[in-house]
Amino acid sequence: MAGQREIRGNKMFEVGRMCIKTAGRDANKFCLIIDTLDDKFVMIDGLTRRRKCNIAHLEPLEKVIKIKKNASHDDVIKEFEKLKLVPKEKKKIMDKKEKTEKKEKKAEEKKEEEKTKRRNIFKRKEKKVAKKK
Amino acid sequence: MRPSKQKSRTFRRIFKKISGNKTTMHYKKRKPSKARCANCGAVLKGVLREIPTKMKNIPKTKKRPSRPFGGILCSKCTREKIKWLARGR
């Protein structure tokens, strides 16, 4: 078994190998291997958290990216952006305050519109009266 | 005559001690069945089993594990599913 592990550690899980995590709350997310600590553990970073990880919790992919050992988080994310793997940011969820402010603004606009309409009607009536005279 | 809910076993029975060294019977609703994996049918761990009125006041994060397919598939099946998806890419 020890021999198999060495081979796995050297070839399958080298620095720069793209992986998918299969366990924990970061499961089904892409990551890159930054460092090999042991024949069992590696350091990962990417769309997951930057952390130590067991080889058994990773699924290696075909891609290998040229990257320095212990590269920073920003460098790793840049590589992901090149491959277009970074998901788009979701729309901001509005707070209750923001929602109420929006509603109030809309209501004020409606009121002003109604006022202008009424004014216009009065003006027309005045004009008609003036013409008759 | 006793009401029907006390005759059937739809409600679970609880013995309560009261003053005067006496016991009375209380009737409470039974808990729902345990959550099971949709793929293999194994009992799910980390999924709460309470009556709906109690479940209302418990936060969502305490009701199921926070991994993808949490509360639907067991950990073994999720691993296999993710591997199967990854190898298709």
3-state secondary structure of B64: coil
Spatial separation of the C-alpha atoms in residues A58 and A74, rounded to whole Å: 22
What are φ and ψ of residue B43, in 5° steps? Answer: -70, 130
ipTM higher than the 0.90 cut? no
For A26-52, what is each residue's pLDDT tens digit? 999 999 999 999 889 999 999 999 999
Alpha carbon of B89: minimum distance to chain A alpha carbons (Å): 9
Other CB atoms closer than 10 Å to residue A22's CB: what's the count?
22
At B64, the pLDDT band (50, 70, 90 cuts) reads: very high
Q: Which helix (H) or strand (E) holds A68?
A: none
Q: For chain A, positions 59-98, list CB contacts with chain B under 8 A.
A: 59, 61
Are the beta carbons of A79 and A73 closer than 8 angstroms?
no
**pLDDT over 80 (residue A82):** yes
What are φ and ψ of residue B31, in 5° steps? Answer: -75, 150
Q: Which two structure tokens, joined as six digits, stand for A97?
A: 């305050």
Alpha carbon of A64: minimum distance to chain B alpha carbons (Å): 15
Residues of B with CB under 8 A from a CB of A: 66-68, 75, 78-79, 82-83, 85-87, 89
More confident residue, B22 or B4: B22
- Cα-Cα end-to-end distance for chain B: 68
Q: Which amino acid is at B80?
A: E
Which positions in chain A touch B68 (Cβ < 8 Å)?
27-28
Q: Which residues contact B69 (CB under 8 A, 6 or more apart)?
A: B77, B78, B81
Nearest-by-Cβ selection for B82 from A20, A25, A61: A20
